[in-house]
Amino acid sequence: MDVSVPRPAYRRILLKLSGEALMGEDSYGINRATVERIVAEVKDVMVLGVQVAIVIGGGNIFRGVAPAAAGMDRATADYIGMLATVMNALALQDAMHRVGLPSRVQSALNIEQVAEPYIRGKAMRYLEEGKVVIFAAGTGNPFFTTDTAAALRGMEMNVDVVLKATKVDGVYTDDPMTHPDAMRYQRLTFDEAIIRNLRVMDATALTLCRDQKLPVKVFSIFKPGALKRVVMGEDEGTLVEC
């Protein structure tokens, strides 16, 4: 008797990785073992035929020098943060290259010596060819977070879901670190997340996703196998939808 093989719940995903996710247990910078583990998780879902785009943050680098940026012009500080995301994107691409995972880095800022400029058509083609596309430099504009960049690139790439990778395995009624009795939400609406100020993503990103009916799944990137379980549609993390 034939046994049907479970199919992924999503065909194309946008993974939002914070810069802090690359630190591991370090206080700043890039932890190589952590990056390699994240890449292994990405490879596991690529094997299933899932197309993967990634938006990467830069907090692990820029926050490490933040005291020096105190009082800095906001736009200048934001551009420095964008450059930090480019460094993270290159580190992620290098780790993917080492395990034979094809990838391309596209930057919203023109730095053609190290990354391609963002071109939507090329990015779509790379995804269809089975390459991971890593989007760096946020939106390319100051005053916008990498959460907003994730929402924007997710819509442009026609992904099925934005996966927000965090240190916590979903959205809770309270901080689970200080309130052990806090309950994890399995599902939320965008309006509930915004009104309750649950800090799923920033308000601009949530509003963009709500208006385009693009679901967001919040999960822990530090739980082994969590990314694959999310992609397979299992009860992992918190789904935010209309």
Query: Annotated binding site for ATP, which residues?
Result: 16-19, 59, 63, 166, 172, 175
- Which run of H or E residues covers position 54? strand 51-56
Helices 32-46/74-98 angle, 10° precision = 70
CA distance 52 to 47: 11
In the annotated binding site, the residues are 16-19, 58-59, 63, 78, 139-146, 166, 172, 175
In the annotated binding site for UMP, the residues are 58, 78, 139-146
Q: How many CB atoms lie within 10 A of CB 63?
A: 18
Query: Is the separation of the CB atoms in 46 and 132 below 8 Å?
Result: yes
Residues 6+ apart with CB under 8 A from 16: 54, 55, 57, 146, 147, 150, 162, 163, 164, 165, 201
Order of all β-strands in the sheet with 161-166: 116-117, 103-107, 132-136, 51-56, 12-17, 161-166, 216-220, 238-241, 187-189
